[in-house]
């Protein structure tokens, strides 16, 4: 009975640890996908929490009474930490989807939108290809491991039970989105530029040959030219995506360290 009592004593803090890990699975790319069954995600969350909790020193556990009314706001703060880290990792994937949308709109492929299983949103065909390229770079750089390590290391900066909603990284997130918009335009620019040149060229041809049907002549050329330029630029996309991905991964690793560390006491 004493052993069970000791386990129950740690239960509230374990729930908070699992909540921080669960926040990661709410927003992180692939882990938040509906393609992963909820039971599987819950199992992974509990397994990672079981691995992490024994490694957290008692000095990194805030001495807050384990009361339900107190645990609820604390759980919201813990959820924020994990969700913010996952959201940072999601930004490059959302940005390549934006770039793919811009390219598809210009190429006339917007009508062939498909559902992206990784982001659970409508995505263009170009965006799908860029998404898988981005995920390959993300995995090769160790992004999947880094977000788990960042969550585990965040307990050094923010003890269990010390996370607050004021830790929300609004300014950092806004800066990332601003950089992500520029990144999306850089990715889409080659196709958009060549489509603009093709549109001007077709316009001159239409003025020269008024009897030529623009729909039967210009539309297929626009798609073919756009696809050719897109695949020709794939080799140039990799360093651009990798550069932006590295910036995001550095931010994921450094952000928990910038949070104000509460003065912990033994549990």
Which of 20-24, 64-68, 120-124 is the most confident on average? 20-24
In a domain? residue 50: yes
Helix residue ranges, H only, 209-233: 214-232
- For residue 267, being part of any structural domain is answered with no
Q: What pLDDT score does 1 carry?
A: 45
- pLDDT score, position 206: 73
pLDDT single digits (tens) 110-159: 665 555 555 555 667 788 888 888 989 998 888 888 888 888 888 888 88
- Of 161 and 17, the one with more pLDDT: 17
Q: Is residue 264 one of the residues assigned to a domain?
A: no
Q: How many residues does the chain have?
A: 267
Of 17, 23, 26, the C-alpha closest to 55 is: 17
Where do the H-state alpha helices sit in 108-169?
A: 125-140, 143-157
Average pLDDT, the chain: 79
More confident residue, 162 or 23: 23
Residue 78: pLDDT band with limits 50, 70, 90: confident
| Residue 183 pLDDT greater than 90, yes or no | yes
Integer CA distances (angstroms), 5 to 161, 197, 233, in order: 21, 74, 62
Question: What pLDDT sits at residue 59?
Answer: 60
Residue 84 is assigned to a structural domain of this protein: yes
Three-class SS state of 121: strand
Give the tens place of pLDDT for each residue, 205-247: 777 766 666 666 667 788 888 888 888 888 888 889 999 999 9
| Burial degree of 202 (CB within 10 A; 0-12, 13-18, 19+) | middle
Residue 265 lies in a domain: no
Please name the residue that has the structure tokens 């339900």.
Answer: 68
Query: What residue numbers bound the domain in which 167 lies?
Result: 2-258
Among 6-20, 69-83, 139-153, which stretch is predicted with the lowest mean pLDDT? Answer: 6-20
Say if 68 falls within a structural domain. Answer: yes
Q: How many domains does the chain have?
A: 1
Is 266 part of any domain?
no
Instruction: Determine, yes or no, domain membership for 263.
Output: no
Q: What is the pLDDT averaged over residues 15-24?
A: 88
Q: Which pTM was predicted? A: 0.79
Instruction: Give me the pLDDT at residue 265, please.
Output: 43
- Structure-model confidence comparison of residues 173 and 115, the more confident one: 173
């Amino acid at each position: 009975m004493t052993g069970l009592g000791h386990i129950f004593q740690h239960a509230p803090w374990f729930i908070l640890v699992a909540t921080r890990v669960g926040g990661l699975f709410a927003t992180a790319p692939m882990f938040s996908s509906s393609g992963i069954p909820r039971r599987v995600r819950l199992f992974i969350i509990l397994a990672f929490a079981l691995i992490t909790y024994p490694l957290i020193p008692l000095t990194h556990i805030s001495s807050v009474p384990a009361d339900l009314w107190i645990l609820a706001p604390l759980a919201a703060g813990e959820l924020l930490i994990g969700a913010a880290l996952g959201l940072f990792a999601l930004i490059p994937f959302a940005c390549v989807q934006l770039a793919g949308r811009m390219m598809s709109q210009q190429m006339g492929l917007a009508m062939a939108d498909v559902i992206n299983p990784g982001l659970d949103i409508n995505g263009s065909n170009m965006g799908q290809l860029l998404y898988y390229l981005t995920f390959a770079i993300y995995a090769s750089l160790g992004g999947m491991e880094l977000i788990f390590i960042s969550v585990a290391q965040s307990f050094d900066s923010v003890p269990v039970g010390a996370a607050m909603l004021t830790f929300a990284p609004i300014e950092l997130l806004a800066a990332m989105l601003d950089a992500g918009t520029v990144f999306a335009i850089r990715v889409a620019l080659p196709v958009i530029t060549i489509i603009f040149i093709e549109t001007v060229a077709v316009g001159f041809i239409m003025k020269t040959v008024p009897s030529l049907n623009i729909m039967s002549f210009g539309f297929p050329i626009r798609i073919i030219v756009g696809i050719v330029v897109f695949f020709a630029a794939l080799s140039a996309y990799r360093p651009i995506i990798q550069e932006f991905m590295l910036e995001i991964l550095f931010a994921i690793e450094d952000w928990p360290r910038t949070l104000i560390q509460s003065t912990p006491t033994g549990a």
